[in-house]
Amino acid sequence: MIPVRSMQRLVFASCYVYSPFGTGAVCEHSRLLRSLLKEADERFLEKYASRVHQQVDGGSRALRGFFGSGDVLVPVPGSKPASMDRAWAAAKLAQALVNEGLGRATWPGLRRVCAVRKSAYALIGARPSVDRHYESFAIGVPPAPPDSLVLIDDIVTKGRTLMAAAVRLRETFPAARIRAFALVRTMGRVPEVQALLQPCRGEIRWLRNDAYRDP
């Protein structure tokens, strides 16, 4: 079982929104954005990393100063072990962000040791729990203990994956500052969104044996 006392709250930031069920042109564009993101095209990810940099440099109060020059960016693995995952969008996004100066280096030290069900293909009640994600993760040993770690993922929904990953990092690096960034956040059953670009900074919290994202 996940040792939740080590990570009750995880600070996270995000840049864009995705509406899986909404109607209207912006919602349709958000679904296209998600599809392109999952294809893990490096040119596409480089373009969006540049847009994130613009927001961090002053375009958005929410993202301003979120990344530091000494941060080590840790990509969150997909649902399968790396040997089975041909398109690892989070790893390519993390490298693109470092290329933009948002962090010192990437470190793919968080890995899946067993596959979990893809949230996109699971019924709401059948999505992997925080415990299941936690059990599927293992941590490698970096050349030197990092001072500041930023988990990088392509999309965040409730935050279960990020919470489980953060707990694993906390176990290995108890003195490190740990936070998370997802390029896109899911807006659930919101009927309509007004804009794709909606930078935010919030928290993923452990409550009633589950993870909850705010906002």
Residue 126 has pLDDT above 60, yes or no: yes
The 8-class DSSP code of residue 6 comes to: G
Cα 111 to Cα 61, 102, 135, 136, distances in angstroms = 32, 22, 11, 8
Q: Look at residue 130 in the predicted model and tell me its pLDDT.
A: 93
Cα 97 to Cα 6, 85, 102, distances in angstroms = 28, 21, 5
Which of the two residues, 175 and 2, has the higher pLDDT score? 175
Three-state secondary structure of 114-136:
CCCCCHHHCCHHHCCCHHHHHHH
User: Which amino acid is located at 204 in the chain?
Assistant: I
Cα 132 to Cα 2, 108, 206, distances in angstroms = 9, 20, 15
Strand 9-18 to 197-207 pairing: antiparallel
Spell out the alpha helix ranges (H) of 11-119: 25-39, 42-54, 89-99
Give per-residue pLDDT as tens, 10-49: 999 999 999 999 999 999 999 999 999 999 999 999 999 9
Phi, psi of 127 (to 5 degrees): -65, 145
Q: Look at residue 80 in the predicted model and tell me its pLDDT.
A: 86
CATH (domain of 39): 3.40.50
210 within domain boundaries? no
Q: Look at residue 3 in the predicted model and tell me its pLDDT.
A: 76
213 within domain boundaries? no
77 within domain boundaries? yes
Give per-residue pLDDT as tens, 44-85: 999 999 999 999 998 899 999 999 999 999 999 998 887 555
Q: Look at residue 83 in the predicted model and tell me its pLDDT.
A: 55
The 8-class DSSP code of residue 173 comes to: -
163 within domain boundaries? yes
3-state secondary structure of 16: strand
3-state secondary structure of 138: strand
What is the rounded average pLDDT for all residues in the chain? 92
Number of domains in the chain: 1
Distance CA 101, CA 25 (A): 33
H helix or E strand, kind and range, residue 163? helix 160-172
User: Which amino acid is located at 175 in the chain?
Assistant: A
- Domain around 92: 4-204
With bands split at pLDDT 50, 70 and 90, how would you rate the model's confidence at 137? very high
Q: How big, in percent rounded to 5, are the helix, strand and coil portions of the chain? A: 35, 25, 40
Residue 181 has pLDDT above 90, yes or no: yes
The reported pTM is 0.94
With bands split at pLDDT 50, 70 and 90, how would you rate the model's confidence at 123? very low
